């Protein structure tokens, strides 16, 4: 279940650290905080990554490992609860000391306190209903994932399809979509434009909050722009430079958005032998 989120955070950090090193910069770096984490309906340890931006001419990452993190919840009746503030730092990542399972209809958010007194808080996100994958079909060689789209709300999806040869991972493809064209359709589907490979595929359908959807969309869009910029030919001259990838996390003192996002996401999965 973590491959999509791993893809997002790796792309996120790569974009923020990317630049052209042909021009020397004399300006001072305005350090910013990068925060990324997720919580899902699947019982698991909650992992949160915190980094500081680095100077454009430098390489690598600058992890922050001395923050205090609290995870909170709010029931539909308004009852607020501290889910946990027990996080351990392992491999420069914060991991909850216990398994956490988010519940549908409940709101969740994190609060991060730095040693300098700055506090960052994510906007509460409600865990949406899990949208089960009904079946996976092949349209020629393209996987088509079918499901029943809820008709009582606007939904925002990410679809991840991973291909395997026995237990050997081959590759994966990810697309994002709203339900604007199939809202309430009991035979809704999303289709990849990647041909099947191997002898097994695993599909995961993510039901996202609108803020997380916008954040992930910006990352994928910026990654495509960077691919164009790094390609040979005149097209790289017109590629859009990376934008500030802000999501749902705010500095409580300045009320400015931080780079990054804490997503609360429901997931359904289904496998298909090929």
Distance CA 169, CA 182 (A): 32
Tokens matching residue 122: 């994510």
Check residue 220 and give its pLDDT.
82
Q: What is the mean pLDDT of residues 76-93?
A: 96
Q: What is the mean pLDDT of residues 59-78?
A: 90
Q: Which of 119-133, 158-172, 244-258 has the lowest mean pLDDT?
A: 244-258
Burial 212-231 (b: 16+ CB within 10 A, else e): bbbbbebbbebbebbeebee
- pLDDT at residue 99 above 90? yes
153: confidence class by pLDDT, cuts 50, 70, 90 = confident
DSSP 180-238: TTTTT-TTEEEE-SS---SSEEEEEEEEE-HHHHHHHHHHHHHHHHHHHHHSSSGGGGG
What integer best gives the mean pLDDT of the chain? 85
Question: Could you tell me which of 77, 79, 87 has the C-alpha nearest to residue 110?
Answer: 87
Check residue 33 and give its pLDDT.
86
Check residue 221 and give its pLDDT.
80
Q: What is the mean pLDDT of residues 101-125?
A: 96
Name every residue whose Cβ is closer than 8 Å to that of residue 253 and which is 6 or more positions away in sequence.
118, 119
Q: Quick: pLDDT tens for 190-221.
A: 999 888 889 999 999 999 999 999 998 988 88
Distance CA 22, CA 237 (A): 14
Torsion of CA 195, 196, 198, 199, to 10 degrees: -160
Check residue 122 and give its pLDDT.
97
């Amino acid at each position: 279940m973590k491959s999509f989120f791993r893809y997002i955070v790796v792309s996120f950090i790569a974009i923020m650290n990317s630049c052209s090193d042909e021009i020397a910069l004399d300006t001072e770096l305005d350090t910013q905080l990068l925060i990324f984490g997720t919580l899902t309906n699947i019982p698991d340890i909650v992992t949160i990554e915190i980094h500081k931006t680095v100077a454009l001419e430098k390489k690598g990452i600058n992890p922050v490992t001395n923050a205090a993190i609290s995870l909170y919840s709010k029931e539909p009746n308004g009852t607020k609860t501290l889910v946990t503030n027990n996080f351990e730092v392992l491999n420069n990542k914060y991991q909850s000391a216990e398994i956490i399972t988010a519940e549908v209809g409940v709101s969740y958010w994190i609060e991060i306190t730095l040693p300098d007194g700055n506090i960052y808080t994510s906007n509460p996100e409600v865990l949406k209903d899990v949208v089960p994958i009904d079946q996976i079909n092949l349209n020629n060689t393209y996987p088509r994932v079918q499901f029943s789209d809820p008709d009582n709300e606007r939904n925002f999806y990410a679809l991840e399809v991973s291909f395997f040869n026995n237990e050997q991972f081959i590759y994966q493809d990810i697309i994002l979509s709203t339900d604007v064209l199939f809202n309430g359709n009991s035979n809704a589907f999303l289709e990849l434009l990647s041909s099947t490979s191997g002898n097994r595929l695993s599909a995961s359908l993510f039901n996202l909050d609108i803020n997380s959807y916008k954040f992930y969309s910006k990352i994928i869009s910026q990654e495509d722009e960077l691919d164009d910029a790094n390609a040979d030919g005149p097209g790289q001259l017109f590629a859009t430079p990376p934008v500030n990838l802000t999501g749902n996390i705010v500095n409580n003192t300045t009320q400015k958005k931080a780079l990054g996002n804490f997503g609360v996401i429901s997931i359904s999965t289904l496998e298909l032998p090929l």
